Amino acid sequence: MAAGQGRVGRDTLALTLGIETSCDETSVAVVEDGRRVLSNVIHSQVELHKEFGGVVPELAARDHLERLPHLLEVALERAGAKPQDIDLIAATRGPGLAGCLLVGVGVAEGLSAAWSTPLLGVNHLWGHIYAAMLARPDLEPPLLGLVVSGAHSDLVRMPEHGHFQVIGRTRDDAAGEAFDKAARMLGLGYPGGPALDRLARTGDARRQPLPKPSLPGLEYSFSGLKTALLYRLRDLGAAVTEQDKADLAASFERSVVESLLEKLDAALRDHPYPEVVVSGGVAANTLLRKRATEVVGTRARLTMPPLELCTDNAAMIAAAGYFSQFTSPPRGEDESSYFTSPPREEVESRYFTSPPHGEDESSYFTSPPRGEVESRLRLSGGAVGPVLVDPSLGW
Ligand code: ADP
Ligand code: MG
C-alpha cells in the first residue's frame, strides 16, 4: 500500500483518524501506529435518549451529525495534529444503526475527499478486540476474545490480524441487552448496565438465587434468565424491598457473568491460547472483571481494556483500521468489499437499494444523481475504499 501523503518517509499509514458513530456515542480519535492513543474524544448521548428509555435511532443520527465537526476539531487539537498529518481515516461501517453509520461514513468520505487521505471502513466488532491492543501495546494474536456489548456476546478466535472466527454466540439477547432489560425491570432506568452494577454491589446473590443459563457447546442464551427475574419480581409483588432488588441485581449479574465465563473456560480447555481479551461495554462490569481474572488464571494473559476503551470509542476503530492495512481479506468470508474495489454495479446496488430490514431508510438510499455516485466512488477509490455501510455486518 502506498504511503500516506502527510508523513514523508513513512511506509505505513501511521497516523490514523478514527470516527465512530454506530450507536449512541459520537467519537473521534487520533491513534499513532495503531497502538498509541493521541486523543480519544467521546460524546455520550445518554442524556438525549434518557427520557425514552432507550436509543432513538433518528435522534441519534442527527446528534452525531451536529457533534462531529466540533469533536473532530478537539481530537486533532488534543493530538497536536493537523489534517495534513493524518495518513488514514478509519470509520465504523457496521454493525450498528444504519442512519448513524451513514453519518460517520459520510463525514469520513467528505474529509477523505477534502484532505486527499485514504479512507477505510472498519468493522465495529473488530474495534472492540483492537481496544485491547491499545491497552497493551505488546499484545499480538493468536488470541481468544470475548466481546460482550449491548448487541453482541461473541466468543471469537483471532489467529492473526484481521482474521476472526466466531466459536460461540448468543441465541437470543446479548449480555448488555439482558443487563439493560433487567435494570428496567428493577426500576433502574437507562442506561441499565452501569446502574445494575452499582446496585449489585450492595446485594447478596445467595438470598435471591436465579438460574444460570446453560446451553450445550459454546452458545449463550439470556432470555430464560430474564423471564426468571420477571416471575420472581411478580411473586414478590408490592412487598419487594430495596434490599430484595439489590439481591436480585447481584443474582442476575452473577448468572450472566458465570454463564459468560463458563464458555470462555470451556474454549480455553478445548484449545490453548497465549492471550485472552474480554472487551465491549459489558467488560466494564465489576464482577465480570474480577471473575474473568480468576477463571483465566495462569492459563493465558488476560487483557481487559480500561473502561473508556471498553464502551464505544473511535480510538479502537482507528487501531482496527490501522492494522487492516497489513491484512489480506479474511479467509472463509467474502470480504472483497472491505479492502478492494468491488464491481461498480455491486457498489451502486449496495449503496442505493435494499434498505435494512425493519427500518425506513428510504430517504438515504433513493437514487442520487449518477454523477454524484461516480464522484463518491472515485474519491474513495484506489486500494482502500470505497466504504460501504453495512448495519447487519457480522465478524
Ligand atoms: P454497543 O456497541 O452494542 O452499543 P457498547 O460496547 O457501547 O455496546 O456497550 C454498551 C452495553 O454495555 C450496554 O448494554 C450497557 O448496559 C453495558 N454496560 C456498560 N457498563 C456496564 C456495567 N458496568 N455492567 C454491565 N453492563 C454494562
Ligand atoms: Mg460497541
25 CA distance to ligand 2 middle (Å): 9
Residue 56 CA to residue 47 CA, distance in Å, equals 12
More confident of the two residues 83 and 380: 83
Residue 48 CA to residue 24 CA, distance in Å, equals 9
Ligand 1 neighbour 208 (Cβ under 6 A): no
Quote the percentage of the chain above a pLDDT of 70: 82
Ligand 1 neighbour 313 (Cβ under 6 A): no
pLDDT, tens only, 92-145: 999 999 999 999 999 999 999 999 999 999 999 999 999 999 999 999 999 999
**Contact indicator for 253, 285 with CB cutoff of 8 Å:** yes
Summarize the confidence of residues 54-76 as an average pLDDT: 95
Classify each residue of 17-29 as buried b or exposed e, where b means 16 or more C-beta atoms within 10 Å of its C-beta. Answer: bbbbbbbbbbbbb
Ligand 1 neighbour 280 (Cβ under 6 A): yes
Q: What is the pLDDT of residue 179?
A: 97
What one-character-per-residue DSSP string does 316-383 give? Answer: HHHHHHHHHTT-PPPTTS--HHHHS---HHHHHHHHHS-PPTTS--HHHHS---HHHHHHHHHHT-TT
CA-proximal residue: ligand 1, atom 9 (nearest): 281
Q: What is the pLDDT of residue 12?
A: 61
Q: What is the pLDDT of residue 296?
A: 98
Q: Please calculate the CA angle 328-330-334 and round it to the nearest 5 degrees.
A: 110
Please state which of the ranges 39-53, 245-259, 273-287, 301-315 shows the lowest mean pLDDT.
39-53
Whether the per-residue pLDDT at 146 is higher than 90: the answer is yes
Domains belonging to the chain, first-starting first, are 15-131+312-379 (3.30.420.40), 141-304 (3.30.420.40)
CA-proximal residue: ligand 1, atom 26 (nearest): 193
Residue 139 CA to residue 131 CA, distance in Å, equals 11
* Highest averaged pLDDT of the listed ranges 55-59, 272-276, 353-357: 272-276
- Signed CA dihedral, 23, 26, 32, 38: sign only: negative
Summarize the confidence of residues 190-205 as an average pLDDT: 95
Residue 30: all three cell numbers together? 487520533
**Candidate of 261, 282, 310 to mutate for ligand 1, largest count of ligand atoms within 8 Å of Cβ:** 282
Bridge partners of residue 147, in order along the sequence = 154, 279
Q: What is the pLDDT of residue 275?
A: 98
Q: What pTM was estimated for this model as a whole?
A: 0.84
Residue 32: all three cell numbers together? 499513532
97 CA distance to ligand 1 middle (Å): 16
